[in-house]
């Protein structure tokens, strides 16, 4: 059974990986890009156009090619996180995290005990492999899952060191468009005040022992790849 998590392994190995972020289901494109050597696919479950069946199909396609499927969930509540994990998602990205309590709720939903209190049901793939050693099965599931929290407000920046220190949070990322709006510069993610705040927050997260996404991930959005590819091939 596929249980590899390229993000978690990259953090442990201190190396860089790459992935493509999708806002709509495109299984053929996922398979083509997997053949091109990406490490993960990102399913945007907050702003994207995915049904729950689309998410499961994307996870199956990713697993087939040894690529880790991760997803940004609509919110950090346990029912939502459980639904994504039960479809086969191996990395949860929780948006709009501002407090330690929100981070802890996400951890509780993402991991089985003793790390958390994830609910076990009939989801794939763990429930269908004929393994009767359930303690080992749950431990294996925990090893193959990663958790990231997104900082998207000034309040989140203020609390980032404490959020980063929560056990079970693997790395942090920023929702730059929402963050720049929160800091009073809507539509200006590269405003000097915004970039300075992010740099300061990133240093605080690293000091707490957690990387930020840009420390170890190179990524592109699928639409940008399509447009840039057309420009290169159809000058």
pLDDT in tens, 82-140: 999 999 999 999 999 999 999 999 999 999 999 999 998 867 776 666 667 788 888 98
The torsion angles phi and psi of 71, rounded to 5 degrees, stand at -150, 140
**pLDDT at 1 > cutoff 70:** no
pLDDT digits (tens, 9 = 90+) for 69-83: 999 999 999 999 999
pLDDT > 90 fraction of the chain, expressed in percent and rounded? 86
Containing domain of residue 207, as a range? 6-233
pLDDT band at 42 (very low <50, low <70, confident <90, very high): very high
pLDDT > 70 fraction of the chain, expressed in percent and rounded? 96
Tell me if residue 47 is catalytic: yes
d(CA 111, CA 115): 6
Question: Which tokens go with 111?
Answer: 């991991």
Smallest Cα–Cα separation from 83: which of 113, 115, 51, 49?
Answer: 51
d(CA 138, CA 209): 26
In this structure, is residue 179 part of a structural domain? yes
In this structure, is residue 1 part of a structural domain? no
CATH code at 86?
3.20.20.60
Catalytic option among 4, 21, 47, 185: 47
In this structure, is residue 122 part of a structural domain? yes
pLDDT at residue 210, as a whole number: 98
DSSP E strands: which ranges in 12-100?
Answer: 17-22, 40-44, 68-72, 91-94
**pLDDT at 215 > cutoff 70:** yes
**pLDDT at 38 > cutoff 80:** yes
Total of domains in the chain:
1
Cα three-residue angle 27-109-53, rounded to 5 degrees: 25
In this structure, is residue 205 part of a structural domain? yes
The torsion angles phi and psi of 189, rounded to 5 degrees, stand at -65, -15
pLDDT at residue 36, as a whole number: 87
pLDDT at residue 130, as a whole number: 65
pLDDT at residue 17, as a whole number: 97
In this structure, is residue 201 part of a structural domain? yes
DSSP state of 24: S
In this structure, is residue 90 part of a structural domain? yes
Per-residue buried b or exposed e for 179-206, using 16+ beta carbons within 10 Å of the residue's own CB:
bbbbbeeeebbeeeebeebbeebbebbe
In this structure, is residue 60 part of a structural domain? yes
């Amino acid at each position: 059974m596929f249980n590899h998590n390229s993000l978690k392994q990259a953090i442990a190995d201190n190396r860089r990986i790459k992935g493509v972020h999708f806002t709509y289901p495109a299984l053929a494109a996922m398979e083509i890009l997997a053949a091109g050597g990406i490490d993960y696919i990102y399913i945007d479950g907050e702003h994207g156009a995915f049904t729950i069946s689309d998410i499961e199909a994307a996870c199956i396609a990713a697993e087939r090619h040894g690529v880790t499927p991760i997803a940004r969930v609509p919110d950090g509540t346990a029912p939502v996180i459980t639904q994504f994990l039960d479809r086969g998602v191996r990395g949860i990205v929780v948006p709009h995290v501002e407090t330690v309590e929100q981070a802890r709720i996400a951890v509780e939903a993402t991991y089985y005990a003793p790390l958390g209190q994830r609910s076990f049901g009939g989801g794939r793939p763990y429930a269908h492999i004929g393994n009767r050693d359930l303690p080992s099965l749950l431990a294996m599931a925990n090893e193959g899952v990663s958790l990231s929290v997104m900082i998207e407000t000034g309040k989140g920046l203020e609390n980032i060191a404490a959020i980063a220190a929560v056990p079970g949070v693997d790395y942090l990322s920023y929702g730059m468009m929402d963050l720049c709006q929160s800091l009073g510069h809507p539509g200006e993610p590269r405003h000097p005040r915004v970039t300075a705040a992010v740099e300061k927050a990133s240093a605080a997260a690293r000091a707490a022992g957690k990387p930020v996404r840009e420390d170890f991930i190179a990524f592109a959005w699928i639409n940008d790849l399509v447009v840039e590819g057309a420009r290169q091939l159809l000058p």
